[in-house]
């Protein structure tokens, strides 16, 4: 899914890694330069080690908790509840 220059993908880690590598390779042809340091990969706890290995050297940040995306919270129930609570207090 894309919104302007923000992309979202889901699936198995190997598929996401293939997508990322393809995006890095062809993106510049379309004026899009993927930036791993601004990118987040949200994975289940049991997949942290595999994700760390697969995305080594990409700069992609990996979390098992969650992250905000386009103003919404993605991740664990705890992360989502904390995020929404903070927004309500603001």
Q: What is the pLDDT of residue 12?
A: 96
Distance (Å, rounded) from C-alpha 1 to C-alpha 79?
22
Q: 62: domain range?
A: 2-89
* pLDDT > 80? residue 3: no
Residues in a beta bridge with 52: none
The structural domain count of the chain equals: 1
The pTM assigned to this predicted structure is 0.84
pLDDT at position 70: 84
């Amino acid at each position: 899914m894309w919104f302007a220059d923000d992309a979202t993908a889901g699936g198995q880690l190997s598929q996401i890694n293939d997508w990322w590598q393809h995006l890095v390779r062809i993106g510049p042809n379309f004026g899009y330069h993927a930036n791993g340091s601004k990118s987040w990969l949200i994975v289940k706890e049991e997949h942290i080690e595999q994700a760390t290995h697969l995305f080594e050297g990409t700069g992609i940040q990996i979390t098992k908790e969650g992250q905000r995306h386009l103003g919404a919270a993605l991740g664990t129930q705890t992360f989502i509840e904390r995020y929404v609570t903070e927004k309500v207090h603001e």
